[in-house]
Amino acid sequence: MYAPSDSAGHYAITSHSARTLVQYADGPHVLERRVVATVDSRGSSLGDHVYYRSPAFWQVSASVNLPGAAGRTNYIGLNGFDSRCCAYGVALAVLTEMKFPDAQRRITLEYPEGYTQRRS
């Protein structure tokens, strides 16, 4: 009955690390465009996939799931971080007026590169 955002909000205000989490979340969200090669279960190429990350989003994610890694800048050790970044990018597109960098690093895209809006 509740959205995942309800759970996240509850955690953010009730956890013992809430002050740190909110401090990270309030930091600047500087988007970095990342390209990764994807493969299927047999190792065959599925092409490249683009996602966006930011140091602030890393720090929030790490403070919840791997607190000792929040200060790292190498983005290593947080399982599923790239997938979380995909949801983060769409949330930024829908909830803010941020634009995303294209392949030439121009801040021009309304939605994350490769994202297809769902129409009902």
CA distance 45 to 29: 31
Cβ atoms < 10 Å from Cβ of 12:
16
pLDDT in tens, 51-95: 999 999 999 999 888 888 988 888 888 888 988 999 999 999 999
Q: What is the pTM of this model?
A: 0.79
The encoded tokens of residue 12 equal: 């953010």
Q: Residue 46 half-sphere exposure, CB side, CA atoms within 13 Å?
A: 10
Instruction: Give me the pLDDT at residue 1, please.
Output: 62
User: Looking at residues 27-56, what average pLDDT do you find?
Assistant: 93
Instruction: Give me the pLDDT at residue 42, please.
Output: 95
Q: Where are the domains of the chain?
A: 17-109
Instruction: Give me the pLDDT at residue 89, please.
Output: 95
Query: 24 near 56, Cβ under 8 Å?
Result: yes
